[in-house]
Amino acid sequence: MPLYLFLLLFLWINFKKKAGWWILYFILTVSIMDMAGNHLIKQTVQRIRPCNDPTLFSEMVLRLPHCGTGYSFISNHAANHFAMASFLFFTLGSLLGKWKWLLFGWAFSIGFAQIYVGVHYPADITAGSLLGLLAGWLTSAHFNKQHHFPIFDKETMIHS
């Protein structure tokens, strides 16, 4: 939460009205991905979580006090975090410079943790990550076309 709060305050202070559009698109990115994952994909596929699979009980080391009751495919944690990382990468990447690549490391660590604690299979993470990347890229492309931050234009950055 502190990272998100810092980001929102930074954008609001520096970009005013455009920050409002960016925040709206950011929320829209996560909302689209979350709804697609939970309501469309999980309810259609209905894959049981590895920690709830009786055939895996003898092989599982559950690292959580309890396992979720929802379905496993896709991982919404991976989908949401890769959507956020992708959106940030393509909208604020120029501001972040070479550090922008850490966004994907952060999202990857969230996905890996879901496998590590036993609530998702690797395929759940892979599919969620790919869908999240797509959702973040699509919403960032629309944002950049409609409301981009002019200071991040390559022409502006070259001349400044």
pLDDT at residue 158, rounded to an integer:
38
Q: What are the residue ranges in the chain where pLDDT is below 50?
A: 154-160
Q: How many residues does the chain have?
A: 160
Residue 25 near residue 87, CB atoms below 8 Å: yes
Among 111, 88, 113, residue whose Cα is nearest residue 101:
88
Its pTM stands at 0.83
Give how far Cα 142 sits from Cα of 22, 24, 108, 135, Å. Answer: 11, 12, 25, 11
Rounded to whole angstroms, the Cα distance separating 27 from 87 reads 10
One-letter amino acid for residue 159 of the chain: H
- Asked whether the beta carbons of 12 and 19 are under 8 A apart, the reply is yes
> Who contacts 134 (Cβ-Cβ below 8 Å, separation ≥6)?
86
The secondary structure of 57-121, three-state, reads CCCCCCCCCCCCCCCCCCCHHHHHHHHHHHHHHHHHHHHHHHHHHHHHHHHHHHHHHHHHCCCCC
CB distance 51 to 60 below 8 Å:
yes
Determine the 3-state secondary structure of 47 from DSSP.
coil
